[in-house]
Structure 1
Amino acid sequence: MKVTGKRKKNAQHFESNTALCKVLIAEVSYIVRCCVKGSLLEVNDRLIKQPELINMMPEREGYVAIMMPRPADWLKAKASLLDFESYQKLRTKQ
């Protein structure tokens, strides 16, 4: 499906716990979930041919999908995120 226009017509709507894909690593599978309620704008087809991108360039070419959350849902999800200092403290405890 092609997503078009300002209102992102034809976009698929997902809940926060919807599975986006399954990643298989050394015979162990992991489910990647949306984590935020919103519309699916794009799926990265390059990962099928080049799965190493997810490890090598996750911020650029290795993304799984592009989601567009509703503003109210985004603010709610954003409020539940850790700030950088809290994240660093959590990482040093492990």
Structure 2
Amino acid sequence: MKINESGRVSGIANPYKLQQEMRAEQFGTKRRKDEVQISPEAKEMLQSSQLNQAERSKHIEQLKQSVASGTYHVEAGKIAEKLLPYLRS
């Protein structure tokens, strides 16, 4: 028994692909390609987040050091103010 190559489809054409090719030939159109457009606002947000990344990482390192040394102080009043709206609803 002979086994054909695994990547080869023997004589069966893809009807969907053939239909697309025929339509493209009829209308003289080329295949469209996907395109992505990024808004200026999104570009600005990306730039500002990248600029703030260094400052943010510095702040996080300071917080880690203060927690590790035991000098970090938690303000219970601020936590309560933030939790209160969720507890009321």
Measured against the shorter chain, the TM-score band is under 0.3
TM-score by length of structure 1 reads: 0.23
Higher relative contact order (CA 8 A, sep 6+): 1
In our comparison, the structure showing a higher alpha carbon Rg is 2
Greater strand content: 1
Greater helix content: 2
